[in-house]
């Protein structure tokens, strides 16, 4: 019997528990089937209300085989079975992140300048170092910038970036993914002046008759920033982020807004043996016509790469304070946020995807946008009813009792941010305490019988599941301030959100979280 360190055991148990959650029970007679690996003496949290805690589990051919008492599981041993004593350590199911952007996060880590540095001065230094090694005229791209976490107490602006270079177009993307800060060269290349009108769903920020450098939402489309990546680099980016996410206990991820190059990157990574996350890929709206023409719909794929819903985006960002709300932002009485789709546009894309048999996922942060998306979902169910669509509301940040009832009635799935209450606490002052009682409303969703899904939205939010559990249970930010205490949930509820509910959101609850011994013996 092997003794293992806590670190080694965590590695083993994370992989082993990828299929562990509800549906576990004391096992039946195993017949001639014997395990390759048995772990005994642990505290195995099954997420099964009828059998919540077990002592041991077994693996066969790299897959979860059985869970039960030490005695039950030891019956699955043979002379060739490796046996590990967990010595009372806890085993959790593999965590699921139901809304994230791993491929772009991995590629950014390989190609661009990480500006998550905590000060404008350090951001300038990092960009200057890249500029010194970049030919004039070529773009310099920063990522992971966060406007409220700078030592100077102010956001980055165009003048700061001009001090880095006036020969290179520069953009520093906010980690929220909906705004960026550009230098004067970037505006010049794009042909944007202070008098350029804002496009629908976008905004060029101005102050004192000058461009500040900040650009939001659809207005960012004016800048032709090249991706500058090769197929090999994109596959390498997937490999990098898989390792990082696995290290935190994540075993399955739903990627939001997957384009054609990302589809290829995941397949290349798998072919190279570097895909260690089970991926549910939400197709970007722009790829939908080609997929539809090819006869593809939600569910195509295998246990490693699977086509999920088609995904659209209808409003702004919670962390960047641009989501569309029925009441204004604190201190900005004329600012109600930004819609990036009209009601008619939402109706149009929902009808096309719904009638084609797809699951649909629409980015809808604010209460105004959630209402618009529900209008479209409900309209389609009246005109072209389908069973168990599980259409999704990505982020679904600000709700109210009426919206909760409509979501529950339709069987729709919200995927609110699970680390935001903690990580982005300093931003919530712009929403206020009253709104925060209805934001990231995990408790209200659970009490309404809604299977709320787990979502980091990484890079906008940290993906670490243990931070997510802390955030949902305590709602405390870094300073210890509690935001929306009425929405705190228990640790058991949070664990279920991050496992069982994550699988349900992709129609995989029977594959990801139910693997009783009987199914193994008869498969």
pLDDT of residue 3: 56
pTM above 0.85, yes or no: yes
The set of residues, in sequence order, having a beta carbon less than 8 Å from that of 275 and lying 6+ positions away, is 238, 239, 242, 266, 269, 304, 305
pLDDT at 11: 46
Residue 444, both tokens: 């209200």
Strand segments (E) across 229-359: 250-258, 278-284, 305-313
Mean pLDDT on 102-120: 96
**Other residues' Cβ atoms within 10 Å of the Cβ of residue 58:** 30
Of 269, 271, 294, 297, nearest to 282 by C-alpha is 297
Which pLDDT score, from 0 to 100, does residue 24 have?
Answer: 47
Domains in the chain (CATH in brackets) are: 6-93 (2.30.40.10), 100-222 (3.10.310.70), 244-512 (3.20.20.140)
Q: What is the pLDDT of residue 31?
A: 58
Q: How far is CA 18 from CA 274, 341, 345, 398, in A?
A: 17, 37, 39, 31
With bands split at pLDDT 50, 70 and 90, how would you rate the model's confidence at 21? very low
According to the model, what pLDDT value does residue 14 have? 46
Task: Tell me the C-alpha distance between 44 and 7, whole Å.
Answer: 17
Which pLDDT tens digit goes with each residue over 164-205? Answer: 999 999 999 999 999 999 999 999 999 999 999 999 999 999
Average pLDDT, the chain: 92
Give the burial string for 124-137 (b: 16+ CB within 10 Å, else e).
bebbeebbeebeee
Under DSSP, is residue 360 helix (H, G, I), strand (E, B) or coil? Answer: strand
Token digits for 507?
Answer: 């129609």
Where residue 511 falls among pLDDT bands split at 50, 70, 90?
confident
**Conformation bin of residue 56: beta by default, left when phi > 0, alpha when psi is -120 to 50:** beta
Share of the chain above pLDDT 90, in %: 87
Alpha helices by DSSP H, listed for 58-172, are: 70-74, 102-111, 120-131, 158-162
pLDDT in tens, 394-417: 999 999 999 999 999 999 999 999
Tokens of 416: 């609110």
- Among 193, 109, 114, 117, residue whose Cα is nearest residue 151: 117
Residues 137-171 have pLDDT tens digits of 999 999 999 999 999 999 999 999 999 999 999 99
Is the pLDDT reported for residue 519 higher than 50? no
Closest residue by Cα to residue 366 from 374, 358, 378: 374
Which of the four pLDDT bands, split at 50, 70 and 90, describes residue 515?
very low
Pairing of strands 56-60, 37-40: antiparallel
pLDDT beyond 60 at 420: yes
- Give the E-state strand segments of 134-293 in sequence order: 140-145, 170-174, 179-182, 202-207, 210-217, 250-258, 278-284
């Amino acid at each position: 019997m092997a003794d293992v360190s806590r670190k080694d055991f965590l590695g083993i148990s994370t992989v082993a528990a990828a299929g562990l959650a509800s549906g576990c029970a004391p096992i039946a007679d195993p017949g001639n089937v014997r395990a390759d690996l048995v772990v005994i003496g642990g505290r195995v949290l099954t997420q099964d209300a009828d059998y919540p805690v077990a002592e041991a589990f077994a693996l066969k051919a790299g897959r979860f085989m059985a869970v039960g008492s030490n005695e039950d599981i030891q019956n699955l041993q043979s002379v060739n079975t490796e046996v590990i004593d967990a010595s009372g350590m806890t085993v959790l199911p593999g965590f699921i992140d139901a809304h994230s952007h791993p491929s772009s996060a991995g590629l950014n880590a390989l190609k661009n300048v990480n500006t998550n540095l905590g000060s404008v001065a350090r951001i300038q230094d990092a960009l200057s170092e890249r500029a010194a090694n970049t030919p004039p005229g070529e773009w310099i791209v920063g990522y992971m910038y966060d406007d409220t976490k700078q030592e100077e107490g102010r956001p980055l602006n165009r003048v700061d970036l001009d001090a880095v270079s006036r020969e290179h177009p520069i953009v520093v993307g906010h980690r929220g993914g909906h705004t960026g800060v550009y230098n004067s060269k970037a505006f010049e290349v794009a042909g944007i002046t202070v008098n350029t009108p804002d496009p629908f769903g976008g905004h060029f920020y101005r102050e004192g008759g000058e461009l500040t450098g900040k650009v939001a939402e659809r207005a960012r489309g004016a800048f032709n920033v090249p991706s500058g990546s090769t197929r090999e680099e994109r596959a390498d980016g997937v490999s990098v982020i898989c390792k990082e996410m696995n290290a935190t206990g994540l075993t399955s991820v739903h990627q939001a807004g997957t384009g054609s190059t990302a589809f290829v990157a995941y397949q290349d990574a798998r072919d190279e043996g570097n895909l260690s996350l089970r991926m549910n890929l939400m197709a970007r709206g722009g790829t939908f016509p080609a997929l539809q023409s090819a006869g593809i719909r939600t569910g195509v794929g295998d246990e490693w790469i699977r086509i999920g819903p088609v995904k659209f985006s209808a409003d702004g960002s919670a962390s960047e304070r641009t989501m569309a709300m029925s009441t204004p932002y604190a201190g900005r009485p004329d600012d109600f946020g930004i819609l990036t789709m009209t009601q008619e546009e939402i109706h149009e894309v929902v009808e096309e995807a719904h009638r084609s048999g797809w699951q649909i996922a629409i980015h809808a942060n604010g209460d105004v946008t959630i209402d618009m998306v529900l209008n479209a979902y409900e309209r389609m169910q009246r005109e072209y009813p389908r069973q168990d669509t599980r259409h999704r509301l990505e982020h679904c940040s600000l709700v109210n009792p009426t919206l909760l009832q409509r979501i529950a009635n339709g069987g729709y799935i919200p995927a609110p941010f699970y680390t935001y209450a903690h990580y982005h606490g300093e931003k919530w002052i712009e929403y206020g305490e009253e709104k925060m009682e209805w934001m990231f409303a995990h408790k209200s969703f659970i009490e309404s019988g809604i299977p709320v899904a787990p979502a980091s939205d990484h890079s906008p939010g940290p993906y670490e599941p243990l931070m997510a559990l802390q955030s949902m249970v305590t709602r405390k930010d870094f300073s210890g301030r509690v935001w929306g205490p009425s929405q705190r949930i228990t640790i058991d509820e949070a664990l279920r959100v991050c496992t069982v509910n994550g699988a349900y959101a992709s129609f995989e609850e029977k594959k990801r979280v139910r693997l009783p011994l009987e199914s193994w013996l008869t498969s």
